Structure 1
Amino acid sequence: MLVAGATLSLIAPMAAQASDIVNIEEMNSYTRSKKTSSRLDSNTFINEVSEDLAKIKGRIDGLEAKQNNFEAGSFNDTTTLDGKVVMAIGAVDGGDNLGSNGTEVVQAAFVYQMNLNTSFTGDDNLYVRLKAGDGWDGAFDQKTSTYHIEAKETGLTDGSTNFKVDKMWYTFPIGDKFTATVGPAIENYYMLAATPSVYKPGALKAFKLGGNGAAFGASTSTGAGLKYVADNGFAVSTTVNSKDAAGTNGFLTNEDNNKINVQTAYTKDNYHLSATYSRQQGWNAWSYYATKDLYTGADALTVDSDSVALRAWWRPDETGTATPSVSVGYDTMSFSGRSDIAEGSGYFVGFNWADMFQPSDKIGIAFGQPMKATKAVAGATLSEVDPFLWEIYYSFRPNDSIEVTPAIFGGSDVEETTEDDIFGAVLSTTFKF
């Protein structure tokens, strides 16, 4: 009994102290309270946190999208950027007989190109091309014979290379059928109403456009064009280019080297027919596909020329068969104001086989006669030169962004009346991004 009493006497004070710290009645009243209070509800907490996380994720996604757009070259919602790098290595046997800097040594060259496209209305387009390159001078820049399809020399006098604005123009619609183009740096064939050839050159620029001669031979200059394309395949375009519009001689003056083209074409999915008339004053930028006898002196302001380029192409419904696409061209040219040559002509034939061994591969064979003099003025004599040029290539893609093109090419009497015979080989690799 004495022990029990002592124990109770110790428990009583402890209970009193505990009741002072924790009021059981207040806790009971709290749990029974009918008042509205801020209590921790698991569903509410999860919902609120989820909303906050969603907002944060949205902001992060937005930042990532902006970063991705910037990395992909989109400076804003209407500007895109893409580009390519071309590396080439090759040599030309007989190249030392071509031009003052022709050579037979093995040369390596490159081009780096960036394309910017901006739309302001959704239907228009401002195009700017930036380009740098080096190494083409010598083996792969000789006209007609060895000028590479990608050749671009932008080296400075100290041997360095630099980016330059290589092309610039603005295209906009006029109604449903008309499209206008103006630009300070453009070539006439970018403004044509229809594509005159489906042959893709593998090595030589001479074979571009079904023969880069009389009507289509171009020089980057101030230009403007208007084209009409009907729903039935009929199309017509008018273009004008001026070399001196940016200089003191002025646009389309008597002192201006200029060129006016008019193309009429009919194009369907499988075939095309066109005729292009060209009126030129002091213009010889068609030297990509002409002998030196023909184009030397044609750039004098006292020399005018009239040219007609006939083009046709056909392609099969399906690729991967033994039937190739076929492109042909025939050019004629007449001069006034020359003391030696009155007329000239040339032709082109090109074949392409696509998807033969793997998707997106291509076999190409092209040949033709570069434009040569066919009629002399009274009192002058013609040379007996009979120029001929050809190329064969195979291109394939290891992946969607890389294209490899080994090619061989050659010709006879390709430059002047002397025996300028050549044989060349070049390996080109294109990286697109």
Structure 2
Amino acid sequence: MKLFQKLLLAPAALGLMAPVAASAADLNIAGLSQYGSQEQVTSITQFSDVQPTDWAYQALSNLIERYGCVAGYPNGTYRGSRAMTRYEAAALLNACLDRVTEVTDELKRLMAEFEKELAVLKGRVDGLEAKVGELEATQFSTTTKLRGEATFDMGAYSYGGSYDRGNANTGPGLSDKPLYSAWVFNYDVRLNFDTSFTGKDLLRTRLRSGNFAASAFDGGQYRITKLDKSFESKAGPNVVDVDRLYYTFPVGNELKTTIGARVRNTEMLAITPSVYKSNISDFLYGTFGTAGVYNKETGAGAGLVWKQKVKKGNPFMAAAINYVAKEAQNGNPSAGGIMTDASAGSFLAQIGGAGKNWGLTGAYRYGQCGTDLRSGTQYTYNNSKAKCADIQALGGSGAATNSFAINGYWQPSQSGWVPSISAGWGISTFTNGYEVKIDTQAAQSWMVGLQWNDVFVKGNSAGMGVGQAPFTTSTFSGATPYDGNYTWEWWYNFQVTDNISVTPALMYQSRPAGQNTPIGETFNAFGGVIQVGFKF
């Protein structure tokens, strides 16, 4: 209730208090005259008989300091335990009303002085209300928001080294297939329809299209050259696919569940294990340098994420498990289904902790034949793609990969010369039936990414990533593998606006074909790209 309203009710309240108040016959007129003529006090400490332990101390202090309408007796006392006469109450009420009148007159003066400005503001508010009403009347859904992202990629790769086939323009392991080296202009567009029914759940439907299939950036020739955003439908370029369809909802305060017909395992994690955000390399950025575990398997699946509930900024623990079957839509158990030998399924588990500036995670993925390591040298990646049917035709069965990864990051509290550091190491082993089809028994990978924020201009960033994509480290035959490789990228992100960014980048791969490059020979790839991103 406002002060003025309280004061208007004061006489009624005082009337109810009349039985306990002194009568007019007991009134000391001289004392009242002295009380009413006293100047208002400015601090409660001026009253010698008011102590901080008194129950009304704070209320009296507020009246004095905020409104300045409390007076005392000439001897510096307030006499708070004494009954108040109606005349004394009238004197106090009159002083407070004078203050309210002063405030009211001041407000009237200010309103008159800023009359034009207030009229303009009222007009703007009325206009905004009209626009909000129009939007509400024309929106296609009260529960769904459209979030879009379009990416343009312009650039090229060139190939060199002692094993470059010159005029034939082919690379190791590609037979007579030409290497793509022309300057290209590709696009990747995503439209997310995010629906919430309770405010805490999410139904995501993503439509996606692109034209990367014949580009040097799609990883079709050497997987390590693939960009993170490089999509093309299996039906061909410029065809729109339903790329995601899943529903996430909370179960209690710390647990949430996801289930979907088109869901990706890396979108059901408890902790994102890296703060390196180049948006360029699929290996260094997209799979956090540990492509054997975080292989972006997409299909029908479900997952659980537990995250410890703590005060914002405090360290917390988290864990996640999920299962994705690439061939879940196929009803033939020898060719697909859920939890069959032919599901091409991936089971991923992650556990870790994170704080305001750091994170540390460990993860494991069990992958059936038909899944892959997502990235790697041409030799190792092609080996990891062995299909169950091909293995079974050669007498093998129960083939699987077991992959482990450790990832961590640290970032400074403020931008400066010290960059954020993200790192990861992973190992994958091939078991049982794989030996009848391939020779790779184990493969490893690692990465380190450095990123500087607010470089030259606030909002811009720069970074460098280096690592080795999955490469064969041991074989079933016992032969020594020569599959090592290195990959680098350097980039700078111009944040033109909140919704538009331009990122030029340079990429280099020392041995993208791995063991397919003969011993003693060299073969490398050097590329450049300008990536323009739009978010809406």
The 3 A distance-change label for structure 1 pair 61 and 409 is: closer
Q: Map of 1:176-255 to 2, 5 A cutoff?
A: 176-207=253-284, 208-230=286-308, 231=310, 232-248=315-331, 249-255=336-342
Aligned to 2:412: 316
Q: 2:474 aligns with which of 371, 375, 392?
A: 375
The 3 A distance-change label for structure 1 pair 70 and 325 is: farther
More moved, 366-375 vs 296-305: 296-305
Give the secondary structure class of the aligned counterpart of 2:267: helix
Give me the whole-angstrom Cα distance separating, in 2, the residues matched to 1:398 and 1:221. Answer: 36
Instruction: Please tell me the residue identity of whatever aligns with 1:180.
Output: T
**Greater share of strand:** 1
Alignment RMSD, CA only? 2.4
Question: Is the CA contact 1:257–1:299 (under 8 Å) kept in the aligned structure 2?
Answer: no
Describe the superposition over 1:113-141 as per-residue Cα deviations: whole angstroms up to 9, x where unpaired: 21111011111110111111114523101
Q: CA deviation at 1:313?
A: 0.3
Q: 1:163 aligns with which of 237, 240, 259?
A: 240
Relative to the length of structure 2, the TM-score reads 0.65
Aligned to 1:87: 152
Give me the whole-angstrom Cα distance separating, in 1, the residues matched to 2:458 and 2:178. Answer: 40
More moved, 97-106 vs 301-310: 97-106
Give the secondary structure class of the aligned counterpart of 2:386: coil
Give the secondary structure class of the aligned counterpart of 1:357: coil
Residue 152 in 1 paired to residue 231 in 2?
Answer: yes
Give the secondary structure class of the aligned counterpart of 1:246: coil
Question: Is the CA contact 1:291–1:371 (under 8 Å) kept in the aligned structure 2?
Answer: no
Describe the superposition over 1:49-96 as per-residue Cα deviations: whole angstroms up to 9, x where unpaired: xxxxxxxx999977743543688xx53222111212211110001195
Question: Is the CA contact 1:311–1:329 (under 8 Å) kept in the aligned structure 2?
Answer: yes
Residue 398 in 1 paired to residue 503 in 2?
Answer: no
Q: Map of 1:254-333 to 2, 5 A cutoff?
A: 254-301=341-388, 302=397, 303-319=399-415, 321-333=416-428
The 3 A distance-change label for structure 1 pair 290 and 313 is: farther
Residue 97 in 1 paired to residue 171 in 2?
Answer: yes
Give the secondary structure class of the aligned counterpart of 2:135: helix
> What percent identity do the matched residue pairs reach?
26
Q: CA deviation at 1:290?
A: 4.7
Give me the whole-angstrom Cα distance separating, in 2, the residues matched to 1:255 and 1:135. Answer: 29
The 3 A distance-change label for structure 1 pair 411 and 240 is: same
Question: Is the CA contact 1:373–1:382 (under 8 Å) kept in the aligned structure 2?
Answer: no
Instruction: Please tell me the residue identity of whatever aligns with 2:150.
Output: V
The 3 A distance-change label for structure 1 pair 69 and 402 is: farther
Q: CA deviation at 1:297?
A: 4.8
Question: Is the CA contact 2:377–2:514 (under 8 Å) kept in the aligned structure 1?
Answer: no
The 3 A distance-change label for structure 1 pair 408 and 221 is: same
Instruction: Please tell me the residue identity of whatever aligns with 1:373.
Output: T
Question: Is the CA contact 1:291–1:387 (under 8 Å) kept in the aligned structure 2?
Answer: no
Instruction: Please tell me the residue identity of whatever aligns with 1:238.
Output: I
Q: 2:527 aligns with which of 391, 404, 424?
A: 424
Give me the whole-angstrom Cα distance separating, in 2, the residues matched to 1:261 and 1:219. Answer: 10
Question: Is the CA contact 1:137–1:153 (under 8 Å) kept in the aligned structure 2?
Answer: no
Question: Is the CA contact 1:385–1:416 (under 8 Å) kept in the aligned structure 2?
Answer: yes
Give me the whole-angstrom Cα distance separating, in 1, the residues matched to 2:369 and 2:456. Answer: 47
Instruction: Please tell me the residue identity of whatever aligns with 1:267.
Output: A
Q: CA deviation at 1:186?
A: 1.3
Relative to the length of structure 1, the TM-score reads 0.80
Residue 65 in 1 paired to residue 132 in 2?
Answer: yes
Q: Which runs of 5+ in 1 are unaligned?
A: 1-56
Question: Is the CA contact 2:472–2:484 (under 8 Å) kept in the aligned structure 1?
Answer: no
Q: Which runs of 5+ in 2 are unaligned?
A: 1-123, 160-168, 389-396
Describe the superposition over 1:312-371 as per-residue Cα deviations: whole angstroms up to 9, x where unpaired: 10000001x010000000001111122212211111100110101112111010010111
Question: Is the CA contact 2:248–2:257 (under 8 Å) kept in the aligned structure 1?
Answer: yes
Aligned to 1:386: 484
The 3 A distance-change label for structure 1 pair 101 and 70 is: farther
Give me the whole-angstrom Cα distance separating, in 1, the residues matched to 2:323 and 2:508. Answer: 34
Give the secondary structure class of the aligned counterpart of 1:288: coil
Instruction: Please tell me the residue identity of whatever aligns with 2:412.
Output: P
Aligned residues: 371
Give me the whole-angstrom Cα distance separating, in 2, the residues matched to 1:252 and 1:86. Answer: 36
Question: Is the CA contact 2:307–2:319 (under 8 Å) kept in the aligned structure 1?
Answer: yes
Give the secondary structure class of the aligned counterpart of 2:225: coil
Describe the superposition over 1:157-212 as per-residue Cα deviations: whole angstroms up to 9, x where unpaired: 5xx61222111110000000101001111110100011111111242111124215
Question: Is the CA contact 1:168–1:183 (under 8 Å) kept in the aligned structure 2?
Answer: yes
Instruction: Please tell me the residue identity of whatever aligns with 2:426.
Output: D
Aligned to 1:7: none
Instruction: Please tell me the residue identity of whatever aligns with 1:315.
Output: Q
Question: Is the CA contact 1:149–1:201 (under 8 Å) kept in the aligned structure 2?
Answer: no
**Greater share of helix:** 2
